[in-house]
Amino acid sequence: MLQLEHVSFTYGTIPVLEDINLKVSKGEHLSIIGESGCGKSTLLKIIYGLLQLEKGKVYWNDLEVLGPNFNLVPGEPYMKYLSQDFDLMPFTTAEENVGQFLSVFEPDEMKRRTAELLTMLEMTDFAKIKVKYLSGGQQQRIALARVLAQEPEVILLDEPFGHIDNFRKNSLRRNLFTYLKEKHITVLTATHDHNDVLPYADRVVVIKNTHIIADNTPKNLYERPKSMYIASLFGEANLIPLHIIKSYVDTKRHIIVYPQEFKVSEKSGLEVVVEKSFYIGGSYMMVGNYDGQRLYFNHNLPLEKGKKVFLNIAIETINQRLADT
């Protein structure tokens, strides 16, 4: 088990993380999400031992993770960190970069393992190409293969698909996260992309203002976000005063509604005036104006600017989406 106890860290006088407590079971996939600069990458670097902790401790099982003040070469042998800087050998081939961490005394096994990892990351056709000639996305895949070749117990991924083309991301996500789950490797993924999170993570923590503000399954966080901040990390969302949905309710509470959850009617509901229409593949995302507030909703057809429509929300959504802020 990976365990963080009362971890705090500052850059100069600016606090980045404060009193972080976290437990991650062996083989669990934990995603860390939050706005840019919230401390996601810093947290991974602390766990790996690249930054010296000011307060708190990090353990893997009974072993304490020590920072650069204690290790000449930062990092622990049972743990690997894939940063946004790939640290590859540019003048050697893709397969040589991967094979660097495999035993030369078992050439057949080294060849088999290298081929397995290159296939899994869809880089077989580039095995003989020097790294310096590869694109950023291809280099990122080789960096992933290199990390996996070392068979760590814990792997820390910082935006693992940030440089990879959209058309290839989906298959790579499936390949990589399925492989890590089969190998029972503990995974921590810091990401901005909810597509890295929803289908694959066992658990998600949300960081804001130096603290963990939520810790739950992806499904529960998505379906029952407690704040607009959390909901917005999964895509577009609307924050709506409850009293405009239920006029008899005397409250300042709000509900969170995703665009696809609105039902469009021409007779009754929240009356909005269409401002814009965006094609999103198979449907359109509409921008409407309700009493000076912009609302985002989906519709199967584009609607003309200035058209008045009515939006309705299912009672189940209203009941489970009360927001704290």
**DSSP-derived pairing of the beta strands 322-323 and 154-158:** unpaired
**Amino acid letter for position 286:** M
Top-confidence residue, 316 or 307: 307
Q: In what order do the strands lie in the sheet with 270-279?
A: 262-265, 308-313, 270-279, 284-290, 293-299
Q: What is the pLDDT of residue 252?
A: 76
Q: What is the pLDDT of residue 248?
A: 64
Question: Does residue 90 surpass a pLDDT of 90?
Answer: no
Q: What is the pLDDT of residue 47?
A: 95
Q: How far apart are CA 48 and CA 77, in angstroms?
A: 10
Question: Does residue 89 surpass a pLDDT of 90?
Answer: no
Q: How confident is the model at residue 101 (pLDDT cuts 50, 70, 90)?
A: confident
Over residues 125-154, mean pLDDT? 91
Which two three-digit tokens encode residue 85? 């800087």
Top-confidence residue, 71 or 184: 184
Q: How far apart are CA 158 and CA 145, in angstroms?
A: 15
* Alpha helices for the chain (secondary structure H): 40-48, 94-99, 107-120, 136-149, 166-182, 218-223, 228-232, 315-320
The answer to pTM > 0.85 is: yes
Over residues 281-293, mean pLDDT? 94
Q: How far apart are CA 297 and CA 316, in angstroms?
A: 18
Q: Give the residue among 68, 11, 16, 75 at the shortest CA–CA distance from 40.
A: 16
Contacts of 259 (CB under 8 A, 6+ apart): 236, 237, 238, 285, 286, 296, 297, 298
The rounded percent of the chain whose pLDDT value lies above 70 is 97
Question: Does residue 290 surpass a pLDDT of 90?
Answer: yes
Q: Give the pLDDT confidence of 8-18 residue by residue, as tens digits.
A: 999 989 999 99
Q: What is the pLDDT of residue 250?
A: 59
Over residues 135-146, mean pLDDT? 90
DSSP H or E run through 125 = none
Q: How confident is the model at residue 103 (pLDDT cuts 50, 70, 90)?
A: low
φ/ψ of residue 306, rounded to 5:
95, -10
Query: Domains of the chain by range and CATH?
Result: 2-225 (3.40.50.300), 236-323 (2.40.50.140)
Cβ atoms of 259 and 284 within 8 Å: the answer is no
How long a stretch of residues is the chain?
325
Q: What is the pLDDT of residue 244?
A: 83
Average pLDDT value over all residues in the chain: 91
Over residues 87-114, mean pLDDT? 82
Over residues 293-310, mean pLDDT? 95
DSSP string, 180-200: HHHTT-EEEEE-S-GGGTTTT
Cβ atoms of 23 and 1 within 8 Å: the answer is yes
Over residues 156-169, mean pLDDT? 87
Q: Give the pLDDT confidence of 17-39 residue by residue, as tens digits.
A: 999 999 999 999 999 999 999 99
Top-confidence residue, 217 or 147: 217
Q: What is the pLDDT of residue 249?
A: 63
Question: Does residue 310 surpass a pLDDT of 80?
Answer: yes
Q: How far apart are CA 82 and CA 73, in angstroms?
A: 16
**Amino acid letter for position 22:** L
Question: Does residue 87 surpass a pLDDT of 80?
Answer: no
Q: What is the pLDDT of residue 107?
A: 80
* Coil, strand or helix at 30: strand
Q: What is the pLDDT of residue 266?
A: 83
Which two three-digit tokens encode residue 271? 């009356």
**Amino acid letter for position 134:** L
Q: What is the pLDDT of residue 23?
A: 97
Over residues 275-280, mean pLDDT? 95
Question: Does residue 301 surpass a pLDDT of 90?
Answer: yes
Q: Give the pLDDT confidence of 39-55 residue by residue, as tens digits.
A: 999 999 999 999 999 89
Question: Does residue 72 surpass a pLDDT of 80?
Answer: no
**Amino acid letter for position 254:** H
Longest Cα–Cα distance in the chain? 77
Q: What is the pLDDT of residue 289?
A: 96
Over residues 120-131, mean pLDDT? 92
